[in-house]
């Protein structure tokens, strides 16, 4: 069910992943138009090839400290229904092939404490990668 390929990205020292089938493309940050009176996790809008897309900053959405964009910063364009939404991450690190046995459910204690975006945890050697539910991240942002 959950086995497949995932795009792994970093926010600070934490690794997160999302299903590669949802990713349209990964780009370097381009000019982002600010939008007044929106929550701070909405970075603004970008114009990609004549189409305007909302951009969400996951660093802000997940309550990490603010950070300026640098050479590693990426925008992941994600398919949601018939639109694309950009999500800003600190860096994209790899494409990971994962089997069901490598994915655990979110621990119950965490799943009850503001973890509505977490779909599970990928066990990778000695590390863990948090599998996010991009629909819930974007849906809550809308």
Domain range for 92 is: 4-141
Q: How does pLDDT run across 3-30, given as a tens digit for each residue?
A: 689 999 999 989 999 999 999 999 999 9
Count of CB atoms situated within 10 Å of the CB of 86: 26
Distances in Å between the alpha carbon of 138 and those of 18, 48, 79, 82?
A: 12, 19, 10, 13
Instruction: Give the angle subtended at the CA of 52 by the CAs of 54 and 75, to the nearest 5°.
Output: 50
Contact partners, residue 127, CB within 8 Å, separation at least 6: 15
How many domains is the chain partitioned into structurally? 1
Which parts of the chain have pLDDT scores under 50?
Answer: 1, 109, 111-113, 141-142
The pTM of this model reads 0.86
Contact partners, residue 50, CB within 8 Å, separation at least 6: none
- Where residue 85 sits, what CATH number does that domain have? 2.40.50.180
């Amino acid at each position: 069910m959950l086995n497949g390929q995932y795009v792994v990205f970093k926010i600070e020292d934490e690794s997160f992943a999302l299903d590669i089938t949802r990713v349209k493309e990964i780009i370097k940050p381009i000019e982002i138009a600010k939008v007044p009176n929106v929550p701070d996790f909405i970075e603004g809008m970008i114009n990609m090839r004549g189409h305007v897309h909302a951009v969400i900053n996951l660093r802000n959405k997940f309550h990490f400290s603010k950070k300026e964009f640098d050479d590693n910063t990426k925008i992941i364009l994600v398919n949601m229904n018939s639109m694309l939404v950009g999500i800003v991450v600190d860096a994209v690190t790899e494409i990971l092939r994962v089997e069901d046995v490598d994915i655990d459910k979110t621990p119950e204690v965490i799943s009850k404490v503001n973890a509505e975006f977490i779909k599970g945890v990928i066990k990778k050697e000695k590390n863990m990668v948090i599998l996010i539910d991009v629909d819930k991240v974007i849906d809550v942002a809308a």
